[in-house]
Amino acid sequence: SWVHFHMQPHDMRIGRLYRWHTPAEYVNDAGLGGGITWAAQDDFCGRMLPQFYGETQFNLVDCEALMDSIVRGFSTWAANHRFISFHDITKECETSPPFSVPLNLEMSRGQGDGNYGNECKGLEVSITAGPPLQREQEGLAAVVYNMPRDRRRWKSGTLSTAAVFDGGSRRIEMSRMHFNTDQCWYLDNSFCYGFHELSNKGIDIEGMCTFLTFGCFMAALLFTLFHAVRAGFRAKQMGAESLWEFVESLSRWYWLVVLCFLSTPLLLYYNIFRPCVDCYDFEAAVAHEIGHVMGFDHPDTFPAYNYEMYNETGIGAATCKDPWSIVKLTGPEVLGIAADSIMMSLTKQRARACLSDDDLHGLNFLYPT
């Protein structure tokens, strides 16, 4: 199942679609005509990297790694559709400001705010980072703002990738993808995946790791204290010099092992494990937010508006002109089936960076071929 992006509550009730337009003119490269262009703001890495506090301490992530993750996030969608592509024009837009977001996000009253003339020409997706743009979004990892080009009124009518005009739909002409720098992040799920899988199976992996970490630390500390007390008694009985004689009698390997057990578990726990629990997966978040850019919303946030494709063969030559003929509004009963969707609302322990069958059905419905 999947849920369509919407700007107003009645959009979902009437089944209005928001999507990118496919120009009929061959020379028009807007929207899906020439591929959707994107650019990261010039200080994106400078804003985001400090939030990767675990990985930056060990020099495991840099600006190039962040940009590669963004490219992979776009490829997650582009690789599954022959008419969808994305092009990086960050260098061409490095001196331009990011897209301004209108005060009236619904853009239903024809109100804009600000002068948009100095924004990068030809840019369609602006990727930014910083504190939340609105107070009610403080707890979110990232937010996407889909907008018309003039930030005043939505253009009605889109030509689908199957060359069918839908007069009731609205055109997404530009988007701003904003990442929250008040949250902490890690690069991808390659290390944390095992922890998340165990947690999803009902295993208290956080409690286990906490117990093992502080268990090792306390064992090493008690062992050290035991020998310190023992040395103190020997010094009292045999003279002060015996304390130093006792310390010198211990091998360097002994102190190395003790120091490792005192420091290593805590370093691993706070810099390696805790980010997997407390922080967000950047690559998965990018792929998820691009789903919003393409016109999808959270199946679990709007359970009453889940669509399902009941034709097992999916979109084909016989149905691509009328994809509505093979979908139905199913509601919340399909959420268990859609639990692995990339569009499920982001959590810190449910990171997915690839499309599920439901995501593919939704993609092929919104952009049929």
Model confidence at 82, pLDDT cuts 50, 70, 90, reads: very high
Strands 142-147, 174-180: pairing is antiparallel
Locate 204 and state its tokens. 């208290």
Locate 39 and state its tokens. 């650019």
Query: How does DSSP classify residue 82?
Result: T
Task: Give residue 130's region: left, alpha or beta (phi > 0; psi -120 to 50).
Answer: left
CA proximity to 88, closest of 31, 116, 126: 126
**Residue 303 and residue 301: Cα distance in Å, rounded?**
6
List CB contacts of 139: < 8 A, sequence separation 6 or more.
none
Q: Are 130 and 168 contacting, i.e. CB atoms less than 8 angstroms apart?
A: no
What is the CB neighbour count within 10 angstroms for residue 294?
A: 24
CA proximity to 29, closest of 38, 19, 18, 21: 21
240 membership: H or E segment, kind and range: none
Rounded mean pLDDT of 220-238?
70
Amino acid 72: pLDDT: 95
Whole-model pTM? 0.84
Query: How does DSSP classify residue 318?
Result: T
CA proximity to 216, closest of 271, 182, 258, 249: 258
Q: How far is CA 18 from the centre of its chain?
A: 21
**Amino acid, res. 367:** Y
**Amino acid, res. 328:** K
Amino acid 234: pLDDT: 63
Amino acid 109: pLDDT: 40
Amino acid 173: pLDDT: 95
Amino acid 273: pLDDT: 82
Q: Interior CA angle at 32 toward 31 and 36, to 5°?
A: 65
Amino acid 116: pLDDT: 67
pLDDT in tens, 180-218: 999 999 998 888 877 777 777 778 878 888 888 888 888
pLDDT in tens, 251-309: 566 667 777 777 787 877 887 788 888 899 999 999 999 999 999 999 888 888 888 88
Query: How does DSSP classify residue 97?
Result: P
**Residue 366 and residue 186: Cα distance in Å, rounded?**
31
Amino acid 253: pLDDT: 66
Q: How far is CA 74 from the centre of its chain?
A: 12
Q: Which residue has the higher pLDDT, 271 or 173?
A: 173
